[in-house]
Amino acid sequence: MTTEFSEFLTPGPTVDSDSPDIVAFVERVLGGNDGSDKEKAIKLYYAVRDELRYDPYSSTLEVEGLKASRTLREGRGYCVSKAILLAAACRAAGIPARLGYADVRNHMSTEKMRERMQTDIFYWHGYTDIYLDGKWVKSTPAFNIELCDKFGLMPLDFDGEEDSIYHPIDKSGNRHMEYLNYRGAYTEPPLDDMLETFVTHYPHWRNRVNSAEGDFDAEVSAEVSAAGQDKQDM
């Protein structure tokens, strides 16, 4: 690999690919060094997607809170932190990886999250860009398979060849995710720019309340159950 990709193979403040925990995670998932970069990236993608629970209440824009090793230890994260973890795992495996961001309109959320955010636009949604077979491929390991099953979403698969980004509709044909704006790719998360956007658009960030207690899985289960009951009562 040429020096052109060295920054995408090097550990960083949040993408701490040299952490012993990250190295051990990669060794466990890959079970050895056999296989192509694409095969390794696929294994790492599914491990991050499904072994770590999606939790939007874990959102933070602090270096310590976003470290890949911390996300791994806690076993949960939101789109930004899970993307950082996948990037760290890829770098630890010798695969160039960087962080991509986009603004998305999310049509699927819980009432508590909607009240907290007061918008259905998720700014700086995070995904991982992985360099495979001569090109960058987008991958989005945010939603674990259990959450997709509860919400009726089609899980995002990853084959290492095509971009893996959110589906526009769910299993029932309802609108799910709309990409509004791509913000580019970075070696490390641009935390100052992200904070400026969050403070501008999110009331809870303007009030410096950047975390909240909640059980997103329980909220999803309750709303799905209520929706099912409403259909039966019709």
Is 54 domain-assigned? yes
Token pair for 67: 């470290």
CA distances from 234 to 87, 224, 228, 229 (A): 47, 16, 10, 9
End-to-end CA distance of the chain: 61
Name the percent of the chain lying above pLDDT 70: 85
Tell me, yes or no, whether 167 lies in a domain. Answer: yes
Q: What is the domain count for the chain?
A: 1
In a domain, 231, yes or no: no
- What is the domain extent for residue 21? 3-226
Q: Evaluate whether residue 232 is within a structural domain.
A: no
Q: What is the CATH number of the domain that holds 103?
A: 3.10.620.30
pTM over 0.85: yes
Please check whether residue 148 lies inside any domain of the structure: yes
**Using one digit for the tens of pLDDT, what is the confidence trace for 41-93?**
999 999 999 999 999 888 889 999 999 999 999 999 999 999 999 999 999 99
